[in-house]
Amino acid sequence: MIITIDGNAGSGKSTAARKLAGRLNIAYLDTGAMYRAIAWAALEHGVDFDDPEALAAIAREVSLEVDCGPTHTRVKIDGRDVTEAIRTMEVNRHTSAVARNQPIRDLLVEKQRQIGRHLGALVTEGRDQGSVVFPDADVKFVMEASLDKRTERRHAELVADGEEVDIAEVRRNLDSRDATDARQWAALYAPGAAIRIDTSHMSIAQVVDRLLAHIRQLKHGM
Ligand code: DC
C-alpha cells in the first residue's frame, strides 16, 4: 500500500506521516530530506548554486543512500550519514535552488519510485508524491493549515533548534514559498483526487486518527 501526504511547511505533514507509518508498521519516506541531502553535498563541494548545470552534475556524481523504516528516514551522501546535518538554516536556504532544478527532480523522482517498488508499502511525504511520483497511490492526502498556524509551528520548531528568528520573517518566508509550492500539488485539488485535511485546529494525535480512519474506510470499500 502506498500512502502519499503532500502539503507545505508547517502543515504538520512530517510528524503525522512518521506517526502514521509507525502505527501501520510500514516505512516512512521523507522526500524533503533527499532534496536537502543534495543541497548539503553541493555546499560541501563548493558548487555555485546559481549554476543549474553544476548543481545537476553534483547530484548525479554523489551517491545518495536512503534508509527508511516505520520511524525514520536516514540519508547518506557518499557513505556519510547527513540526516542531522541537513537540518541547518544554511541547508534550508540552499534547498530551494535544488528543488527548482528539473534534472535533479527527475533523478530523485526515479529514486523515490524505486524505493516504492522495492518496499511495496510506504507512507511518503513531500510536495509531489500524490501528483507526480505515485499517481496510482492507494490513498492520497493533502494537508493544509492557516498561515498564522503554520508560522507559529515553524517558529516554535526553529526556536527549539536553537535558531534566533523573528516571527515576522518566518511568516514572510512561508508566504512567499506558498505559491511555488502549491503549484506542485495543484493536481491533487481536483475533485476526488486527494483527501484534504485542514490541521489548523487539530493536534498531531487527532490528525493521525483522522488519517487512520480514512485508510480503514477505504480498505473496507476495496
Ligand atoms: O519538506 P522539507 O522542508 O524538508 O523540504 C525541503 C525542500 O525540498 C523544500 O524547499 C521543498 C522541497 N521539496 C520538493 O520540492 N519536493 C518534495 N517532494 C519534497 C521537498
The pLDDT tens digits of the residues spanning 74-95 come to 999 999 999 999 988 789 889 9
Query: What is the pTM for the complete model shown?
Result: 0.94
CATH 3.40.50.300 fits 2-212, yes or no: yes
Structure-block grid coordinates of residue 138 = 492507494
CB atoms within 10 A of CB 87: 14
Nearest CA to ligand 1 atom 20: 32
Of 136, 115, 134, 118, which is closest to residue 126 (Cα–Cα)?
Answer: 134
Is residue 23 over pLDDT 90? yes
97 in ligand 1 pocket by Cβ < 6 Å?
no
CA of 7 to the centre of ligand 1 (A): 10
pLDDT-above-70 percentage for the chain: 99
User: What pLDDT does residue 222 have?
Assistant: 59
Average pLDDT, the chain: 93
CA of 131 to the centre of ligand 1 (A): 14
Greater model confidence, 3 or 162: 3
Residue type, 103: P
Over range 35-59, report the average pLDDT. 98
User: What pLDDT does residue 180 have?
Assistant: 72
Is residue 63 over pLDDT 90? yes
* pLDDT tens figures, 135-193: 999 999 999 999 999 999 988 988 887 878 889 988 988 888 777 777 777 888 888 88
31 in ligand 1 pocket by Cβ < 6 Å?
yes
Do the bridges between strand 64-69 and strand 27-30 make them parallel or antiparallel, or are there none, so unpaired? unpaired
Q: Which of 19-23, 124-128, 169-173 is predicted least confidently?
A: 169-173
CB 220 within 8 A of CB 141: no
